[in-house]
Amino acid sequence: MIPVIHILDSHSANQIAAGEVVERPASVVKELVENSLDAGAKHIDITIEGNGVSLIRVKDDGCGIAVQDLPLAVIRHATSKISQIDDLNHLQTLGFRGEALPSIASVSQLEISSRPSDEVVGLCLKLMGGEQGEFSEVGCSIGTSVTVRNLFYNTPARLKFLKSIPTEFGLISDTLGRIALAHPEVSFSLTHPQQVVLQTSGRGDLRETIGAIFGHTIARQLIPIKAQQAEWQLEGFISPPDLVRSSKQTQTFMINGRIVRSSFLSRALAEGYHTLIPNKLHPVVVLHLHVPPSEYDVNVHPTKMEVRFKNEKALGSFISQQVYQTLIDSKPLPSFQTQHLSTHETKIAFSLKDSKAELQFREPAAPPLKMTPEKLPVKPEKFDQPKFYLPAQEQSKVLERLGDVPIQTASAQLSAQVETLTQNKFISEIETICEDTLAHIWPLAQLFNTYILATDGEVLLMIDQHAAHERINYERLFVEFKQVEHSSQALLVPLPMEFTLQEEQVVLENLWNLTEMGFILEQFGARTYLLRGVPVHTGTVHADRLLRQFIEEVLQKNFTPTIEKLLEEWIYMLACKESIKAQDSLSLLEMEQLIAHLGKSKNPYTCPHGRPTMVKMTRSELEKRFYRT
pLDDT digits (tens, 9 = 90+) for 34-81: 999 999 999 999 999 999 999 999 999 999 998 888 888 887 766 665
State the pLDDT confidence band at 451, using cuts at 50, 70 and 90.
Answer: very high
Residue 346 is predicted with a pLDDT of 29
CA atoms within 13 A on the CB side of 135: 11
Residue 3 is predicted with a pLDDT of 63
Average of per-residue pLDDT across 439-454: 92
State the pLDDT confidence band at 11, using cuts at 50, 70 and 90.
Answer: low
Q: Does the pLDDT value for residue 121 go beyond 60?
A: yes
Q: Encode pLDDT of 518-573 as tens digits.
A: 889 999 888 899 999 888 766 656 778 778 877 887 777 666 667 777 777 778 88
Measured CA to CA, the distance from residue 625 to residue 629 in angstroms comes to: 9
- Indicate the helix (H) or strand (E) that contains 487: strand 487-498
Q: Encode pLDDT of 496-512 as tens digits.
A: 999 988 888 888 888 88
Measured CA to CA, the distance from residue 415 to residue 459 in angstroms comes to: 7
Superfamily of domain 378-474+584-625: MutL, C-terminal domain, dimerisation subdomain (3.30.1540.20)
State the pLDDT confidence band at 223, using cuts at 50, 70 and 90.
Answer: very high
Measured CA to CA, the distance from residue 36 to residue 180 in angstroms comes to: 12
DSSP state of 293: G
Residues of the chain with CATH 3.30.230.10: 222-329
Topology of the domain covering 488-536+540-577: Ribosomal Protein S8; Chain: A, domain 1 (3.30.1370)
Query: Closest by alpha carbon to 144, among 165, 179, 119?
Result: 119
199 three-state secondary structure: strand
Q: Encode pLDDT of 79-114 as tens digits.
A: 665 555 554 555 566 755 557 888 898 899 999 999
Residues of the chain with CATH 3.30.565.10: 10-205
Q: Contact 33/57 with Cβ under 8 angstroms?
A: no
Residue 481 is predicted with a pLDDT of 76
Burial class (CB in 10 A: 0-12, 13-18, 19+), 272: buried
Residues of the chain with CATH 3.30.1540.20: 378-474+584-625
Count CB atoms within 10 A of the CB of residue 626.
Answer: 7
The contacts of residue 145 (CB under 8 Å, 6+ apart) are 57, 58, 59, 60, 112, 113, 114
For 222-329, CATH gives: 3.30.230.10
Looking at 3.10.580.10, 3.40.50.720, 3.30.9.100, 3.30.565.10, the CATH number of the domain 10-205 comes to 3.30.565.10
Diameter of the chain by CA atoms? Answer: 103
Amino acid found at 35: N
Residue 265 is predicted with a pLDDT of 92
Residue 376 is predicted with a pLDDT of 36
φ and ψ of 597, to 5 deg: -65, -40
Query: Closest by alpha carbon to 444, among 389, 499, 498?
Result: 389
